[in-house]
Amino acid sequence: MGADGIEKLLEILVLFALNQGYIKPKIGSHKGHSHSITDIDKFKQFVDQTPDYTLDEFAAAWPEKVSRSTVGRTLIKLGYTRKKSVLIIKKEMSKSVNSF
């Protein structure tokens, strides 16, 4: 019996055991990622009022405790693009000034 056959047999055994009541699924597990920013509309207004904030500044200024990555995920879901790096802009400006 190959690996596919063993997986299929295990699946059948688990389904049989579930149907017969020998095993029961855990209740309340795997609820997904907890989303700290629940009021998306309020967060969007907050972002529109403070467009120059970094992720760390958004996380610190938001009334609920949220992480930098939570803010980043929420911004992506809202369709915002990332802010350009100030260092890259400064380098490009210094190159153009030095070329004159």
89 pLDDT higher than 90? no
Question: Are 98 and 82 in contact, with CB atoms under 8 Å apart?
Answer: no
Q: What is the pLDDT of residues 9-41, one digit of tens each?
A: 888 888 888 888 877 767 766 566 666 888 999
| Residue 47 in tokens | 């972002």
The amino acid at 82 = R
| Model confidence band, residue 88 (pLDDT cutoffs 50, 70, 90) | low
**Crossing angle, helix 68-77 and helix 40-49, to 10 degrees?**
100
- If you ran DSSP here, which 8-state letter would residue 25 be given? P
Task: Tell whether pTM > 0.75.
Answer: no
| Residue 67 in tokens | 């992480």
